Amino acid sequence: MQAEARQYFSRELLAWYQRGNRDLPWRKNKDPYRIWVSEIMLQQTRVDTVIPYFERFMANFPTVQALAEAPEDEVLKCWEGLGYYSRARNLQAGAKMVMELYGGIIPDDKESVAVLKGVGPYTTGAIMSIAFNRPEPAVDGNVMRVLSRYFCLEDDIAKPSTRVGIEKLAASLIPEGAAGDFNQALMELGALVCTPKSPSCLPCPVMEHCEARMAGRETELPIKTKAKPPRQEYRLAVIVEGTAEHAGKVLVRQRPNTGLLAQMWELPHLLLDGKHSGMFAESAPKEQGELAEAAIRMLETDAGLLIRPTGWFADADHIFSHIHWRMRVYAADLGVMDGVLAAESGAPYWTGEPAATLEDMPAEERSRYRWIGRDEMDRLPFPNLFLKLLNDYWSRKS
């Protein structure tokens, strides 16, 4: 590649961006906190999805201090539906670090920014360049795609080592004194022009020296190995309806502090073993009294929760990036299964009076469970899967 083509790229791309770019809420000013929040939200998430979340988050937590001092549930609630919830917890942990280490001021220093929770190589470069105009590369998926095409790079962008190489290249392209605009220009081009499927080369400001375009290979690049398909997991959930003092409420629980959907709230549920997964997969929802009974016994073993299913409620599929949940949901009440399984229609249905309370659970399990009404749902963070089921439940009730 000629030095001239490199200078052309930097010059023309920067000029293109400065002629006009998207009016995004985090471009209103250079407040490092706003840039930081926006960059965390934008990780693996589209601009259009982020915008309303960003506005709401900044309204609720306008400063580093406000975020650092907020209850964790409120921060997660503000992130509800956005996904990758560890981003929200890490962001708040980062805000606390900034309060304690730097007196609430995000420092104009790469190493200090890079150690913040949830801030990796990309976000470090984005904050340093956009907020402080420091000449650091900010290499995301857009940048890897744009540069792979312009320089006809054939390295697999799914490999970690490839990103490191492209960072060096991107750093060498930053025009003097224009790091922030140039890095954003690179991403903006990837988002609007040099798109994954069918890039719009004709309006592209750097088409003239794009090697992939000149070779007619713009749709073949970048090279990226395919992701593994998600594994299937069959799960059984219950909507436990309260009685007496808990009438009109349902039982929810908070997930563990680590792992998938950490610290989010959910309906009680369990992973089915191989045998019961097969039963799930092979028969119709309403013909599975045996499955329901077996699973409810497992729930008792699993969580010490004594319940009686009263009927089928819904089947729900939910696909994460690495797991595909297939979930069957039964309505239930608290009690012991000493009743009789109704033969009518084959639906799981136990008769008799409820005969258990949460007090029957082990204390350490019990502490994560809570009875909530529809109004209280608005204060606890639920992942989308359970949000939909609960909304569905309460709309049917009314």
| Nearest-approach distance from CB 139 to DNA, in angstroms | 8
* C-alpha to C-alpha distance for 180 and 175, rounded to whole angstroms: 10
Which residue among 97, 171, 201, 260 contacts DNA (CB under 7 A)? 260
Which residue among 4, 46, 216, 284 contacts DNA (CB under 7 A)? 46
Give every CB contact of residue 2 below 8 A, 6+ residues apart in sequence. Answer: none
| Nearest-approach distance from CB 82 to DNA, in angstroms | 6
Which residue among 20, 228, 378, 398 contacts DNA (CB under 7 A)? 228
# chain residues binding DNA, by CB under 7 A: 60
Backbone angles phi, psi at 236, to 5 degrees: -120, 125
Find out whether the peptide bond into 203 is cis, omega within 30 degrees of 0.
no
Which residue among 29, 176, 203, 226 contacts DNA (CB under 7 A)? 226
| Nearest-approach distance from CB 287 to DNA, in angstroms | 23
Q: Which two tokens stand for residue 384?
A: 């989308």
Asked if 151 touches DNA (CB under 7 A), the answer is no
| Nearest-approach distance from CB 355 to DNA, in angstroms | 35
From 241, 262, 261, select the one nearest 354 (Cα to Cα): 241
- Beta carbons within 10 angstroms of residue 80's beta carbon: 18
Asked if 90 touches DNA (CB under 7 A), the answer is yes
Asked if 38 touches DNA (CB under 7 A), the answer is yes
Asked if 309 touches DNA (CB under 7 A), the answer is no
Asked if 165 touches DNA (CB under 7 A), the answer is no
Which residue among 5, 6, 31, 49 contacts DNA (CB under 7 A)? 49
From residue 334 to residue 373, the character string flagging contacts with DNA as x (rule: CB under 7 A) and all else as - is ----------------------------------------
The three-state secondary structure class of 237 is strand
- Go through 278-295 and write b for each residue having 16 or more CB atoms within 10 A of its CB, e for each that does not: ebbeeeebeebbebbbbb
Judged by beta carbon, residue 45 or residue 133, the one nearer DNA is 45
Positions marked catalytic = 39
Q: Is 336 exposed, middle or buried (0-12, 13-18, 19+ CB in 10 A)?
A: middle
Asked if 271 touches DNA (CB under 7 A), the answer is no
Asked if 168 touches DNA (CB under 7 A), the answer is no
Judged by beta carbon, residue 260 or residue 294, the one nearer DNA is 260
From residue 52 to residue 81, the character string flagging contacts with DNA as x (rule: CB under 7 A) and all else as - is -----------------------------x
Which residue among 14, 58, 68, 119 contacts DNA (CB under 7 A)? 119
Asked if 321 touches DNA (CB under 7 A), the answer is yes
Half-sphere exposure of 229 (CA within 13 A, CB side): 3
Q: Residue 121 gets which letter from DSSP?
A: H
Phi-psi region of 233 (alpha: psi -120 to 50; beta: other; left: phi over 0): beta
Integer-rounded Cα radius of gyration of the chain: 26
Q: Which two tokens stand for residue 382?
A: 């639920």
Q: Which amino acid is at 22?
A: R
Asked if 122 touches DNA (CB under 7 A), the answer is yes
**CB-based contact 142:187 (threshold 8 Å):** yes
Query: Can you say how many angstroms the Cα of residue 214 is from the centroid of all Cα atoms in its chain?
Result: 38
Q: Which two tokens stand for residue 345?
A: 């229609």
Residues in contact with DNA by CB under 7 A are: 22, 24, 38-39, 42-49, 81-86, 90, 117-124, 126, 140-142, 145, 159-161, 184, 187-188, 190-191, 196-197, 224, 226-229, 259-262, 318-323, 383-385
